[in-house]
Structure 1
Amino acid sequence: MLFEYSLLTDKKEVEPLTDFLMDKGAYSVSIEDADAETEREKPIFGEPGIEIDDFAWDSSRLKVLCGDDFDMEGALEAALKEQGLKKPVLEGRTEVPDNDWVRITQAQFTPTQIAGDLWIVPSWHEPPNPDAINIRLDPGVAFGTGTHPTTRLCLEWLHDHNLEGKSVLDYGCGSGILAVAAKKLGASKVLGTDIDPQAIEAADYNAEVNRADASFYLPKDMPDEKFDVVVANILSNPLRLLAPALLARVKKGGYLVLSGILERQAEELIEVYGSYRPDSPLSVWKSMDGWICLAGQIH
């Protein structure tokens, strides 16, 4: 039988407490922002061109998976006595059902029709339409499975615009799904960049599986080029800070496509990009479930 304990602690205690609990026999420890979905929520993940100094939340929630013989109270007392760690708040314990988690996870990801003949198909499914543009993609370490509204919006934009012979940059590529889609939709040259080496590995793998000729780079290794289409599915704050860098990557007459933006953040982003390029205003291309995609031609 498995149990999951929920603990509240501050950022100074997270790493040593996690290590201590794993040493004592916990199966896994996941870390969440205890202030998520509040005004105190704090982003700790960077994007290309943005360095984050503090990779810890002020208040963290640890989800600790243990066997039924794990003495959590005893382990926390030992952490206090042996390591001098502050005792966290024990929020509760829940029983974890003994399920086939692989099968359950796979059941959550089924073939998804994005637009027209563009589909995302996990490896454990056969494509509903073998003649369609099928992107083989499984959930993994990097963001981007095609199911989130921000990813779907970008995929729909790529599908709805003629990419034949065009160059495309996937900025903040994650799994590489947008780059792979761009190549399969006719783009002649496709590059992607991400600050996370694991994302680069995942994107390379997904491009190979899909026989899509796309190249992925860490920011420091990116070629100094401009592109016909630059697509960035990140978040509003990084997009605001990255405005000069993203605009500089778009060829004259090319398109900039941005997502990861809530509807209430749209006007602010439009103003920020307009302050750099008043002659090339962005506008809301489409919205989905409270998220929007901004796009515009850069003159």
Structure 2
Amino acid sequence: MKWLQIHITVDQAQVGFTETLLSSLGAVSVTLDDAENQDLLEPLPGETPLWNTVVVTGIYAQDDEEEIDVIALEAFIQAQMPGVHLRTEFLEDQVWERSWMDYYEPIQIGEKYWIVPEWLEPPEADAVNIRLDPGLAFGTGNHASTFLCLQWLGQTDVKNKVVIDYGCGSGILGVAALLLGARKVYATDIDPQAVLATRQNAELNGVSENLYVDLPEAFHQIIKGTPADVLVANILAGPLMSLADEFATLIRPKGEFALAGVIEEQVADVSQAYAGSFEITAVAKRDENWCRISGYRKAAPESE
């Protein structure tokens, strides 16, 4: 069997209509892809972020006994969406649910410190190898902000310490902390899929007994009154600034922290938001624009 793919490039506002149109024409699946290499991180509550320009792809089964009339299909779509950029291609049959795995390779974070897709063998068997199932949640190590956080954890003494992974995504940072010797990790994310992915990746790496993860409301009930030694948060500049006071209650005095998901132009504003309770000691940059801000919580006033 062959498969026909129809790729339509549209503005964000046209995505819903395009998805509906392709589905109504018998697509067995419809996917969305970035048309302009635009980065997206975790959404804020209630948001469903999309790229500004999106490639909407419909996949159609081409039966050997009944060919699809591609010309007629293209003409119908063009009539519904005049002037739209449309491209078609035929693909040979393959195991689609596993073909995406070909794009992942082990990523070296530091000396004897790797991220390894679960279906591959570690390059160094005796290294700290984070086995990862890249799923729907953000955090595979490929993005600069995730890499910066992993790098910082590898350079920070987390042995026998309590670590918070705030905005955990795939759970990669919390898992890394435990593999690097942390005693306990408390993780949270606003996305239920991220909570599930974190649990699965903790089990995959044999650290689930020492990792607690849940949505923010339950997380805060568990962590209340138990300040952590280390906090890492890989989210976005806006949420990071709004969370500065809350993070001050989650980290013990002299406890270390790292913030990522910040572009270079936002570093000054984020740093200012944390200046009251935190001492910032370093700013690191990767891939030209993505930055990590790190330091420690200042000593608590006597009134605390």
Following the alignment from structure 2 to structure 1, what is the Cα–Cα distance between the partners of residues 130 and 36?
Answer: 36
For residues 252-267 of structure 1, the aligned pairs below 5 Å read: 252-267=253-268
Following the alignment from structure 1 to structure 2, what is the Cα–Cα distance between the partners of residues 118 and 44?
Answer: 25
Q: How many residues align?
A: 279
* Deviation sequence 1:117-168 (CA, Å, 0-9, x none): 2211112221222221111112211111122221111111111111122110
Which residue in 1 is equivalent to 2:187? 192
Query: Relative to structure 1, is the Cα distance of residues 55 and 160 closer, same or farther in structure 2, using a 3 angstrom cutoff?
Result: closer
For residues 204-215 of structure 1, the aligned pairs below 5 Å read: 204-212=199-207, 213-215=210-212
TM-score normalised by L of structure 1: 0.81
Which residue in 2 is equivalent to 1:84? none
Which residue in 2 is equivalent to 1:202? 197
Task: Tell me the CA shift for residue 287 of structure 1.
Answer: 1.9
- What is the identity, as a one-letter code, of the residue corresponding to 2:48? F
Task: Tell me the CA shift for residue 285 of structure 1.
Answer: 3.9
Following the alignment from structure 2 to structure 1, what is the Cα–Cα distance between the partners of residues 123 and 16?
Answer: 45
Secondary structure of residue in 1 paired with 2:23: helix
Aligned: 1:143 with 2:138: yes
Secondary structure of residue in 2 paired with 1:124: coil
For residues 85-104 of structure 1, the aligned pairs below 5 Å read: 87=81, 90-95=84-89, 97-98=91-92
Following the alignment from structure 1 to structure 2, what is the Cα–Cα distance between the partners of residues 118 and 43?
Answer: 24
CA RMSD of aligned residues (A): 2.9
TM-score normalised by L of structure 2: 0.80
Following the alignment from structure 1 to structure 2, what is the Cα–Cα distance between the partners of residues 42 and 122?
Answer: 22
Which residue in 2 is equivalent to 1:83? none
Query: Relative to structure 1, is the Cα distance of residues 194 and 90 closer, same or farther in structure 2, using a 3 angstrom cutoff?
Result: same
Following the alignment from structure 1 to structure 2, what is the Cα–Cα distance between the partners of residues 103 and 56?
Answer: 26
Which residue in 2 is equivalent to 1:250? 251
Q: Assess if the C-alpha contact under 8 Å between 1:3 and 1:95 holds in 2.
A: yes
Following the alignment from structure 1 to structure 2, what is the Cα–Cα distance between the partners of residues 250 and 44?
Answer: 23
Task: Tell me the CA shift for residue 76 of structure 1.
Answer: 6.6
For residues 87-236 of structure 1, the aligned pairs below 5 Å read: 87=81, 90-95=84-89, 97-98=91-92, 105-212=100-207, 213-222=210-219, 223=222, 224=224, 225-236=226-237
Following the alignment from structure 2 to structure 1, what is the Cα–Cα distance between the partners of residues 116 and 84?
Answer: 41
Unaligned runs of 5+ in 2: 63-67, 299-304
Unaligned runs of 5+ in 1: 81-86
Q: Assess if the C-alpha contact under 8 Å between 1:111 and 1:128 holds in 2.
A: yes
Following the alignment from structure 1 to structure 2, what is the Cα–Cα distance between the partners of residues 273 and 150?
Answer: 19
Which of 274, 280, 283 aligns to 1:282? It is: 280
Secondary structure of residue in 2 paired with 1:268: helix
Which residue in 1 is equivalent to 2:65? none
Query: Relative to structure 1, is the Cα distance of residues 4 and 21 closer, same or farther in structure 2, using a 3 angstrom cutoff?
Result: closer
Q: Assess if the C-alpha contact under 8 Å between 1:29 and 1:62 holds in 2.
A: no
